[in-house]
Amino acid sequence: MINAVGREIPDEILEITGKEGFQGNFYMDDKPVTKIGPTIRPIMNNQKSKLVANIREALIKCEAHDGMTVSFHHHFRDGDLIVNMVMKEIHEMGFKDITICATSLGKAHDPLVPMIEDGTITRIESSGVRGKIGEAISQGKLKGLAIMRSHGGRVRALTTGEAHVDIAFIGAPTSDDYGNLRGIGGKADCGVLSYAIVDGNHADHCVAITDCLVPYPNFPAHISQTKIDYVCVVDEIGIPSKIATGAAKPTTDQRKLLMAQYCTDVVVNTPWFKDGFSYQTGVGGASIASTQYLAEIMRERNIHMGFGVGGLTKAMCQLLDDGMARVMLDVQDFDLDAVHNLKNINHHRIPAGVYANPLNKGAVVNKLDYVVLASLEVDVHFNCNVVVGSDGMITGAQGGHPDTAQGAKCAIVICPLLQGRIPAICTDVTTVTTPGESIDVVVTDYGVAVNPARPDILEALREADCVPLKTIEELRDIAYSIVGEPEKVEFEDRIVGIIEARDGTVIDVVRQIKEIKQPVVYKKRINKRRSNG
Amino acid sequence: MEIIKTAVAGTLESSDCMVTIEPAQRGLEIDLDSAVIRQYGKRIMEVASETLDRLGVQNARVTIVDKGALDCTIKARVECAAMRAVEHDGRVNWGGVIR
Amino acid sequence: MTNPNKYRLRRTMMFLNCQKPGLIKDPYIYKPDSIMLDLEDAVAEREKDAARYSLYHALQEIDYRGVERVVRINGLDTDLWREDVRCAVAGGCDSIRIPKTENADDVRTVEYAIAEAEREFRRPAGSVLIMAALESARGVINAMSICDSSERLFGIALSGGDYSKDLQISISGTGVEFMGARQHMIIAARAAKVQCFDTVWTNLDDMEGFRREVEIIHSMGFDGKSIINPRQIPIVHEIYTPKEKDIIFAEKVIKEIETKKAQGIGVFTVDGKMIDIAFYDGARRTIALAKASGVYKGDL
């Protein structure tokens, strides 16, 4: 079938997965949805200890088996040691055909590639994959399908039973012997455990892994003892310097600052920028700079933020500390300042489901006025691609992109027009990961384009005369005029992954990349000219 | 134009390319290594071989390591490497073989 | 006929190393009035040839979207500058900046080479303009004759680094050491009806100092400033943007002068100020600046 963003989704994929093609953002609105709970083993025996000696014992006690699904969270980001530690044990125990259901996978997990190659891991469900795993999937090394779903989509899949986790491994900076988990107080603090809360609620077995055992009760718990079967103490769960880094130094890259300025100009000249507005932004240099520009204008005009949400940084938390924002809602901390800022009583942890699950009774993203996002590619239909590189290789993650873009009244995507020679604004994105109907404004270093579906925004910006307005086609044409139109990247027929829309429909598929011989050798034999001498 | 020695031009910085030209006996061989080979490989080869044709380079082994250079940069680097490889020193035929 | 570009707006002239493709591919997004593509100091000695090939193709193929393309050639004391001129003229540059200009003969020497290149590469005679950078005590003292040296010369620029070495002083950041040169140069430039540009500010960590300096040179009458980083552009443009009251006043002056002239009245008052025809050019300049800065929406 051809879905609502014009992508061909082969019927066999719909059959195998039991899914429908993407029908548009509000397809599931107001439709009945049934939630499904886990099958658990109650602990009534007050003599029973939850402590296990090692991961292997936990695996045995949780009835690990071939074909099982194990889950992980990514709060430890590039400093994560849990995934590799658990998978190494699973690999050594000889289990096969494992599905990994992670909130995200990154470069830290490159050691999983051999396990993909030998059939230990045959399916991956994640918000995306960076690093070598992405390449392996694109090269067709994963036997089953990779499923990419957003943070909100993952919660949806677990609560509806569409995805089922046999054993969840929840890394926790601190735990007591009965499984009360907190994101702080340990050696490798990540602040919050928001992405793992749904695993606690919906996995059959939950194993807490910590490197900092504290006396009972570890309260207030971010994940409760009532969810945890076993607690395993290990030497190290993560590398602190790679989990929550020091706050990023303000960028001096003029291109990013230019885009940040345009972005701020868009925000302050659209109707939702008034006292009590809500805002989410990212961790990139342009996003952080734009938050700082925004703060200046908020002070000038005495406008306060009602709430900020998302993965948080120093720049956002500063607004809270300065009394410029009323509340911060936190699903992830990108720097130590954000972790420390959790002490502020108006800085609240929220579960990923509250943040972004499309199929609950209204997630926080629905209340967003502005979200500032990035993208690898945006096409002339405003479709975004944040997962597959322009070269066809899986290289990124959906994260909360589709969730916040749909939820926010004004979704702004910042991306430089050209990434090296690659045009970020193009005729058709390599893979659609966020539908164009969710995207309202695209900010580039060459100008700003407004989705024609949003005449209100276009009118406001035209009136304010604050940014160089271009149509999205104009931006694409500028890009192509500078770098030339790219050749279409060639793929094999085999589908290696699907991109789920928030509601579980299929928005696009990812195909296996075609091998090319590199370097290309171009030989041109020229007949020897007749010699005159 | 007879390549008489190995010469290099360009850098490995972003938006640049490094071109190496070596003497060869028969014909022209171009090797390309580029992060954008899937999207722009053909175009880069085209620009490089046209430039070499214009310069009259018939026998050479050319290696291009591309870091996302635009066509104008690829031309400039190929020309510079070729001119160095023939030890050209003096007035350049701007708008003639260089264009 | 005077080249119509001779008196164009040049508030900011951004220095770019020709040898860096990443820098020269799209500087226009930062909206400088001019860019200065450098073949001289920024380019290492053994890359002088490479920089020319880059320059030629950049000039030929990159659409700089109306930003003036000035090329800084190597000094007249090198054997590089003649080929630099040929390359820049062949590529299609708008202007050539002569470094280390000592006297009027230097300008005329380059002018001759430019004229020759214009013929060789079939560009209209007089299409390439010249600016002269004064980098020594002698050059500064000769400002007047340099300004008068050529119809192609649109302006002179102070080059503070070399000038301060020649003066045997170091740059303080207060501008005190440049006071004489600046005052002398602006007077010479105005006398010859050419433009005058200030030197670069190199400390990017001190944006406040930069702003103070731009305010000073703006009030001294400089037409613009050489800059080394896009971050400096909005500050210069902001300071050079006429204030609203000045625009309104200029508008009134122009309109009044035009009507009063028709009535044969030579001196009159606007907002209580004594006005005559001598105010006309200044008022026009204010409106032109306001237009360039995007703050003038009127019909003048």
Condensed to tens digits (0 to 9), the pLDDT of residues A196-226 reads 999 999 999 999 999 999 999 999 999 999 9
What DSSP string describes A196-253? GHHHHHH-SEEEEEES-B-PSP--S-SB-GGG-SEEEE-S-SB-HHHHSBSPPPPP--
Please write the tens of the pLDDT for every residue from B27-79: 899 999 999 999 999 999 999 999 999 999 999 999 999 999 999 999 999 99
Indicate the helix (H) or strand (E) that contains C212. Answer: helix C207-220
* CATH number of the domain enclosing B52: 3.30.230.10
Please write the tens of the pLDDT for every residue from A421-442: 999 999 999 999 999 999 999 9
| C157, C223, C226 from C182: Cα distances, Å | 9, 12, 14
Domains and CATH numbers, chain C: 12-240 (3.20.20.60), 244-292 (no CATH)
Please write the tens of the pLDDT for every residue from C145-163: 999 999 999 999 999 999 9
Residue B18: inside a domain, yes or no? yes
Pick among B16, B20, B36 to test the A interface (most A CBs inside 10 A): B36
- Nearest Cα of chain C lies from the Cα of A98 at a distance, in angstroms, of 46
- For chain B, which residues lie within 8 Å of any Cβ of chain C, measuring from their own Cβ? 9-10, 13-16, 69-73, 75-77, 79-80, 83-84, 91-92, 94-95, 98-99
Q: Both ends of chain A: CA-CA distance in Å? A: 69
- Total structural domains within chain B: 1
- Write out chain A's pLDDT in tens, 533 residues: 999 999 999 999 999 999 999 999 999 999 999 999 999 999 999 999 999 999 999 999 999 999 999 999 999 999 999 999 999 999 999 999 999 999 999 999 999 999 999 999 999 999 989 899 999 999 999 999 999 999 999 999 999 999 999 999 999 999 999 999 999 999 999 999 999 999 999 999 999 999 999 999 999 999 999 999 999 999 999 999 998 777 777 888 999 999 999 999 999 999 999 999 999 998 888 999 999 999 999 999 999 999 999 999 999 999 999 999 999 999 999 999 999 999 999 999 999 999 999 999 999 999 999 999 999 999 999 999 999 999 999 999 999 999 999 999 999 999 999 999 999 999 999 999 999 999 999 999 999 999 999 999 999 999 999 999 999 999 999 999 999 999 999 999 999 999 999 999 999 999 999 988 654 555 555 443 433 33
For position C293, what pLDDT does the model report?
82
User: Using CA of residue A359, residue A365, residue A367, residue A369, what is the dihedral sign?
Assistant: negative
For position C49, what pLDDT does the model report?
96
Among candidate residues A385, A387, A457, A469, the one with its CA nearest the CA of residue A423: A385
Kindly give, in sequence order, each residue whose CB lies less than 8 Å from that of residue A397, ignoring residues fewer than 6 positions away: A104, A126, A127, A128, A129, A130, A148, A386, A387
Q: What angle do CA A163, A509, A102 make, to 5 degrees?
A: 35
Residue B70: inside a domain, yes or no? yes
| Chain A interface includes B29 (CB < 8 A) | yes
Residue B1: inside a domain, yes or no? no
CA pair distance A334, A314, nearest whole angstrom: 8
- For chain A, which residues lie within 8 Å of any Cβ of chain B, measuring from their own Cβ? 390-392, 419-422, 482-484, 486-487, 489-490, 516, 518-526, 528-529
Peptide bond before residue A351 is cis, with ω within 30 degrees of 0:
no
Return the structure tokens found at A356.
């972004």
CB neighbour class for C70 (10 Å; exposed up to 12, middle 13-18, buried from 19) = buried
Residue B26: inside a domain, yes or no? yes
| Chain A interface includes C63 (CB < 8 A) | yes
CA pair distance C230, A1, nearest whole angstrom: 49
Contacting chains of C (3 CB pairs or more, <8 Å) are A, B
Contact C26 A252 (CB under 8 A): no
Mean pLDDT of chain A: 95
Residues A279 and A304 sit within 8 Å (Cβ to Cβ): no
For position C258, what pLDDT does the model report?
86
Overall average pLDDT of the C73-98 stretch: 98
Residue B92: inside a domain, yes or no? no
Say if residue C174's pLDDT is above 90: no
Mean pLDDT of chain C: 94
CA pair distance B64, C195, nearest whole angstrom: 45
Q: What angle do CA A194, A156, A345 make, to 5 degrees?
A: 25
Interface contacts (A, C; CB < 8 Å): 21
Q: Which A residues, 354 through 383, put their C-beta within 8 Å of a C-beta on chain C?
A: none
Categorize the per-residue pLDDT at C41 as very low, low, confident or very high, splitting at 50, 70 and 90.
Answer: very high
For residue A483, the chain B residues in CB contact (below 8 A) are 40, 70
CA pair distance A370, A404, nearest whole angstrom: 9
Residue B95: inside a domain, yes or no? no
For position A480, what pLDDT does the model report?
97
CA pair distance A110, A98, nearest whole angstrom: 17
**What is the second-level CATH architecture of the domain A254-483?**
3-Layer(aba) Sandwich (3.40)
The CATH H-level superfamily of A33-243 is: Glutaconate Coenzyme A-transferase (3.40.1080.10)
Q: Searching chain A, which residue's CA lies closest to the CA of residue C29?
A: A446
For position A522, what pLDDT does the model report?
53
Q: What angle do CA A147, A149, A151 make, to 5 degrees?
A: 145
What are the residue ranges of CATH 3.40.1080.10 in chain A?
33-243, 254-483
Find the domain containing B62 and state its range: 7-85
| Chain C interface includes A446 (CB < 8 A) | yes
Residues C281 and C190 sit within 8 Å (Cβ to Cβ): no
CA pair distance A289, A293, nearest whole angstrom: 6
CA pair distance A467, A448, nearest whole angstrom: 7
For position A526, what pLDDT does the model report?
45
For position A529, what pLDDT does the model report?
40
Q: Residue A508 region, left (φ>0) first, then alpha (ψ -120 to 50), else beta?
A: beta
Q: Searching chain C, which residue's CA lies closest to the CA of residue A447?
A: C29
Amino acid at position A233, single letter: V
ipTM over 0.90: yes
Residue B40: inside a domain, yes or no? yes
DSSP state of C74: P
Out of C25, C231, C294, closest to residue A254 by CB: C231
Please write the tens of the pLDDT for every residue from A64-105: 999 999 999 999 999 999 999 999 999 999 999 999 999 999
